Amino acid sequence: MTHSAPGSVGPVLPAVLDEAAHRCLVAGFDGTTTVPDTLKRLIDRGLGGVILFTRNVRDADQVRQLTGTLRALRPDLLVAIDNEGGGIGHLVAADAPEVPGSWALGVADDPALTAACADALAGHLLSLGITASYAPVADVQSRPENPIVRTRSFGADPELVSRHLRAWIEATEARGVASCAKHFPGHGGTVTDSHHELAVDPRPYDRLDLAPFRAAVDAGVPMLMSAHVVFPALDPDRPATLSPRILSELLRGELGFDGVLVSDALEMKAIADRYGEAAGARLALAAGADQVIVAVPDLEVTLACRDAVLGALGSGELAEERVAEAAERVRRLALRYAVLPYRPDDLAAWDTGAGPAAARRAVRRGGFLPEPVPGAHLVDCFPPPHPALNWGGEDLLTELTALDPTATGTAVAGEPGDAGAFGALITAALRAAEGRPLVVAVCDAELYPWQARLRDALVAARPDAVLVSTGLPEPGSAVCAYGRGRVNLRATAEVLTGRMS
């Protein structure tokens, strides 16, 4: 039996090889209740997995029905999602447990608490029929100006990151959910976000942050995700996702990883702009990846990647043995995690208090913790939400007024439009704060100079202002949230008001 697809190019392949090629793909799609016909055809031919996003989530019952529909089409289909915690998640509407981001867990530095948070996230995933989580982040936040890792990392110390990785992976494994340490061999040493352009880590080999990935492999992590980052010390010509030296020689050979290696999303500009998604799929599999992710819901992009792989197999440009090896790893992963071995009612409960406890501990371990400031006026500055990470734009003002209805303020989500708007914002804030405490919160102001300008102007007029950092700690901050997840912001509001939620 052979297969060919409408619009595909190249020779027709034997069914077993066609199915193997499809197992190497993970597809995003649109829809909350129905599965597109194109996706059904891909699943029928062996598609390895799907990745869900906020666009696929309406509520918990709907997600359960959707994953059930997907699994009915193919029981060994991996259903995955990004589920890092903090502000990085897609399941808020599906009653996701509130846990802080990884940096706050690193500040709390209690691996048992990290494990409890990971268990809560994994238990919730299982209750929805999701069995693969593209988390935790193994990157070390090595460059202060890094624009993409930051509070998604457990910290700047490889040993600290390693011990919290182990706790997270082991807790997730105990639930029967596949975890995925990312982004190999590290994205924390760059000054570029690979969602937007190709990133480079210029450090020599002996200064790369490989220790957390070694720890993840030792902990039995079943998946690793590659970085769209060039490491000249390892391969000056190709990003890690497309580099045989990094994926096959370093990861497989030196680190001894034999699980599923999945690429970061191919539509990210670091790959799409320089190589194109289709060529990226072919090159990544040839380099040693086992699965490639096409996260965009446009299934034509997935089909183009699939056709590029089939064409390369037909021409001999991509070795059949390489794809067969990759598909076998995916098959083993699916046998271990894809089929649900339980009824949802049988799931053990998770600790809903672990996340708030971790967030509170982190806030209280950083900054100078001023006396409560009841009736404060807050100016909360933060960048627009990152579209790929789906942070929901939660603001501190909402959490502050929930605990102190006499508080007022404004949430500044992005740079004011012009000098006039900037000045008007300052004037209005100072007027509103007359005779009451002023709180000024910024999020990674060193990356966003408009926040620093606004903060400095307000402090110049009000030297008594209380400064808050909701990203990485800023100099002079009295309170540090270590992330903009809702639970981080609530813990910060508790400190500012002296009240517990």
> How many CB atoms neighbour CB 245 within 10 A?
18
Q: β-pairing, 408-413 with 377-382?
A: parallel
Residue 424 Cα to chain centre, angstroms: 36
> How many CB atoms neighbour CB 406 within 10 A?
10
First to last CA, the chain: 63
d(CA 386, CA 92): 16
d(CA 215, CA 163): 8
Is 18 a residue of the active site? no
Q: What share of the chain is helix, strand, coil (3-state, %, to 5)?
A: 45, 15, 40
Largest distance between two CA atoms of the chain: 81
Ordered DSSP codes for 383-440: PPPPTTTT-----HHHHHHHH-TT-EEEEEES--SSHHHHHHHHHHHHHHTTTS-EEE
> How many CB atoms neighbour CB 368 within 10 A?
11
Residue pointed to by tokens 């960048």? 383
Q: How many helices (H) and strands (E) are present in the chain, helices listed first?
A: 17, 18
d(CA 190, CA 170): 29
d(CA 498, CA 387): 34
Residues 264, 290, 380, 395: which is the catalytic one? 264
d(CA 40, CA 112): 41
> How many CB atoms neighbour CB 33 within 10 A?
10
Q: β-pairing, 438-442 with 235-239?
A: unpaired
Residues 195, 228, 290, 444: which is the catalytic one? 195
> How many CB atoms neighbour CB 460 within 10 A?
10
The two tokens of residue 407 are 């508080």
Neighbouring-strand partners of residue 79: 50
Is 195 a residue of the active site? yes
The two tokens of residue 286 are 């040839």
d(CA 26, CA 452): 41
Spell out the residues 6+ positions from residue 416 whose beta carbon is closer than 8 angstroms to its own: 422, 425, 450, 454
User: CB of 33 within 8 A of CB of 65?
Assistant: yes
Q: Is the dihedral of CA 140, 145, 149, 155 positive or negative?
A: positive
Which positions are catalytic? 195, 264
